[in-house]
Chain A
Amino acid sequence: METANPPPEFSRVAYDTHESRAQWEAVREVVRRFARRRLGRADLADDIAQETLLRVIDYGRANTIDNLYALALRIAANLVNEHLRRERRRGEDELTDDLASAQPWPDQVVEGREAVRALAAALERMPPLRREIIIRRRVRQQSCAAIAREMGLSPKAVEKHVTRGMIDLNKAFRTRRRDGSRLS
């Protein structure tokens, strides 16, 4: 059974008009890009995009979908995390069982380490208030409303800081990539 051919429900629900076909392709493209960014592998990203669309359609049969993109990325993020967990488990096994066969694994670790370092450096460069808000949001999983309350800021100000912080982090991440390719 190959996933390349969509099952009958898929064609009936999703591919019945020209517009919906275009919209599904847009969602697929967003998911594929999201997964490729997180995993660094195009082939895996294709698989995850395909699996995500199937699950979205499945979900849509029993529920109403209000935010299609948000739902798709939530599902994709779960698939990515599952994959990373599997990968890590396998990596650990290989490292303990046979060091030689684990050759590609340390490379991935180095790549991942580098991203963490670049993001940490960008966080250090941020104004302290913004850094604190990003930490509360991502590490302590606090809601914007709770952060606003505890830090005595308006919710709008917290949202603005998160948005600007994202831009700062993205810039650091991209710079790292350019540097990386120049060095190699």
Chain B
Amino acid sequence: MTSTTTDILQEAAAWVEWSSRVGAAEPRALADFEAWMAKSPAHREAYADLAALWRSEALVEAAAAVAARPRRRWRGFMRIGAPVGLALASAMMAVIFAPIFQFQTFETGRGEMRRLQLADGSTAHLSGAARVHIRQGLLGRTVVLDQGEAFFDVNKDGRPFEVQTDEARVQVLGTAFNVDRLASGRVELSVYRGAVSFRARGGPSEELGRGERASVDNGLLLVATPFDPLDGPDWMGGWFDASDASLAELVEKLDRFSERPITLANPQLGERRISGRFQISEPDKVMSVMAAAYGVRITEVGGRIVISDSEPQ
């Protein structure tokens, strides 16, 4: 059996990681490592290359520079302007004096992502064009997701933590999960760590664990196929993975990342089925792909981008 270059590289990365971690190596792993290195020159070369990269000063320098770079949230902060800035500043003061209470509304603009540090130490990452109301009180913690998508990493502190939309409820104790409220009212939930209880308004609740996802649509809760929870939500890396999604769904996600609003010329067009992996953080790129692949026309009308059928009307 021969292994491919990709396999070798992946195994080499795991061994370099292992070497960087274990001081006094476990004998069994050490024997495995030596056996692996003895396989072929290609194995040893891959190990040497990755070790050189991992130990390079260039990597430390690059990582330090990236760590020091302000994230997008600060840019968004400026854009919203002084009133919100002042409100936030006073809220921060409030946080210092009463770290467990928080009553605030946050909004992101199109194309903006923002990471919120909540009073209880939990974090919420907001995708573009999202709005949340945070309510943290003595008895509970609530986030109302009006629109858009958010990834939550929740600290356990004894108080229940609930995410609400008009259509659905997610209740948690200490976990990481993503909630997407689509314009249609459909709510999609993916659990990355821990477990949550999910229910449609007035419906029975369903317990969902790590790697599980479900949606609420028209009052109906549907559990979907599991996913790999290792990477965090696609949108945080700027991607949308569509398998048999509607064009309307893709357009909605693109719209969140676009400086100019993107709309469909007619609703029937939005029902078209699409599949693929789209880099939604680059709406222009995706739209040129769409034009070629789905035969749609992209036009700009008065600062809006309109997607229409390519046949002349």
A contact residues vs B (CB 8 Å cutoff): 26, 29-31, 33-35, 37-38, 66-70, 73, 77, 81, 84, 112, 115-117, 119-120, 123-131, 134-135, 138-139, 143-144, 152-153, 157, 159-164, 166-167, 169-170, 173
CA distance A164 to B231 in the complex (A): 10
B62 near A120: Cβ-Cβ < 8 Å: yes
A67 near B66: Cβ-Cβ < 8 Å: no
Interface residues of B, count at CB 8 A: 52
Chain B residues, CB < 8 A from A126 = 237
Chain A residues, CB < 8 A from B54 = 138, 166
Q: Interface residues of B: mostly helix, strand, loop or mixed? A: helix
Contact of B25 among A37, A67, A162 (CB under 8 A): A67
Contact of B52 among A38, A67, A167 (CB under 8 A): A38
A151 to chain B, nearest CB (A): 9
Known: A26-B44, A66-B25, A138-B63. A84 touches B58 (CB 8 A): no
Chain A residues, CB < 8 A from B57 = 81, 84
CA distance A110 to B50 in the complex (A): 22
Among B34, B63, B67, B236, find the residue whose CB has the most chain A CB atoms closer than 10 A: B63
Tell me whether B241 is interfacial, beta carbon within 8 Å: no
Known: A77-B55, A135-B63. A162 touches B17 (CB 8 A): yes
B232 near A128: Cβ-Cβ < 8 Å: yes
CA distance A126 to B239 in the complex (A): 11
> What is the chain A residue whose CB lies nearest that of B11?
A163
Tell me whether B9 is interfacial, beta carbon within 8 Å: yes
Tell me whether B37 is interfacial, beta carbon within 8 Å: yes
Known: A67-B19, A67-B25, A167-B13. A116 touches B65 (CB 8 A): yes
B contact residues vs A (CB 8 Å cutoff): 9-10, 13-14, 16-19, 21, 24-25, 27, 30, 33-34, 37-38, 41, 44-45, 47-67, 115, 125, 153, 174, 176, 193, 230-232, 236-237
A163 near B48: Cβ-Cβ < 8 Å: no
Known: A66-B24, A67-B30. A163 touches B53 (CB 8 A): no
A116-B58, A163-B13, A166-B50 known; 14 other A-B pairs, CB under 8 Å? A33-B48, A81-B57, A119-B59, A127-B231, A127-B232, A127-B236, A127-B237, A128-B125, A128-B232, A129-B236, A135-B67, A152-B193, A159-B18, A167-B13
Chain B residues, CB < 8 A from A130 = 231
Known: A77-B55, A130-B231, A169-B59. A37 touches B48 (CB 8 A): yes
A119 near B237: Cβ-Cβ < 8 Å: no
Contact of B48 among A30, A119, A131 (CB under 8 A): A30
CA distance A69 to B59 in the complex (A): 22
A158 to chain B, nearest CB (A): 9
Contact of A159 among B21, B47, B53, B64 (CB under 8 A): B21
Chain B residues, CB < 8 A from A162 = 17
B66 near A135: Cβ-Cβ < 8 Å: yes
CA distance A129 to B19 in the complex (A): 22
A124 near B48: Cβ-Cβ < 8 Å: no
19 residue pairs from A and B, CB less than 8 Å apart: A26-B41, A33-B48, A35-B52, A38-B55, A66-B25, A69-B37, A70-B19, A73-B19, A84-B57, A115-B62, A128-B125, A130-B231, A139-B60, A152-B174, A159-B17, A163-B17, A164-B13, A167-B9, A167-B13
CA distance A130 to B233 in the complex (A): 12
Contact of A37 among B53, B60, B62 (CB under 8 A): B53
B282 to chain A, nearest CB (A): 11
A84 to chain B, nearest CB (A): 7
